[in-house]
Structure 1
Amino acid sequence: MSQYKNETTRIYTGPAMIAKGLVSRLNDLGISPIERNDNESSIQAGFTIGVPGQVMLYIRNDELPKAQQTIDAYLKEIGE
């Protein structure tokens, strides 16, 4: 196994609703993105940072070649 297998790349930052659509498409490819919501996490911790409703999606670097075409097509569809 590659030593870089667990390294990730951020593939999207934006509204949670749009991110869910991208997650769904990646799930269809057998890829499970990591969702990070700094605002939600900080509220739970008792302070606020980040932008409400904004999430960041990450995937493993080794999954990027398989996912890139789907990511590009989705972002083009939504006008990003």
Structure 2
Amino acid sequence: MSDYTKIYTGNSMLTQRIVSELQKMGIEPVVKDESESARLAGFAANIDGDREIHVHNDEVEKAQSIVERILKEE
């Protein structure tokens, strides 16, 4: 079982904003970029695919409230 939970999937611009806000609150997220992983492995991939933000299970509730606030502002 993983110690991390996915809290958001979306485009790179919004992902960067969310990551920045999480870091300001002392949360270090993990960003998964499947298209970048595929590109590095030599496979064709969507140039700007969705990214996933994962946070430690202890920080999920706090992180989700930050994501919800940012999404409401959009």
Give the TM-score taking structure 2 as reference length.
Answer: 0.85
Distance (Å, rounded) in 1 between the aligned partners of 2:35 and 2:64: 27
Larger Cα Rg: Structure 1 or Structure 2? 1
Superposed, 1:18-57 pairs within 5 Å as: 18-49=14-45, 51-53=46-48, 54-57=50-53
* Cα contact 2:7–2:53 (8 A) shared by 1: yes
3-state SS of 1:22 partner: helix
Distance (Å, rounded) in 2 between the aligned partners of 1:48 and 1:60: 31
3-state SS of 1:12 partner: strand
1:72 CA displacement: 1.1
Q: Is the aligned partner of 1:17 residue 2:13?
A: yes
What is the match of residue 63 of structure 1? 59
Give the TM-score taking structure 1 as reference length.
Answer: 0.79
Alignment RMSD, CA only? 1.6
1:65 CA displacement: 2.2
For residue 71 of structure 2, what is the amino acid of its counterpart? L
3-state SS of 2:19 partner: helix
Identity %: 36
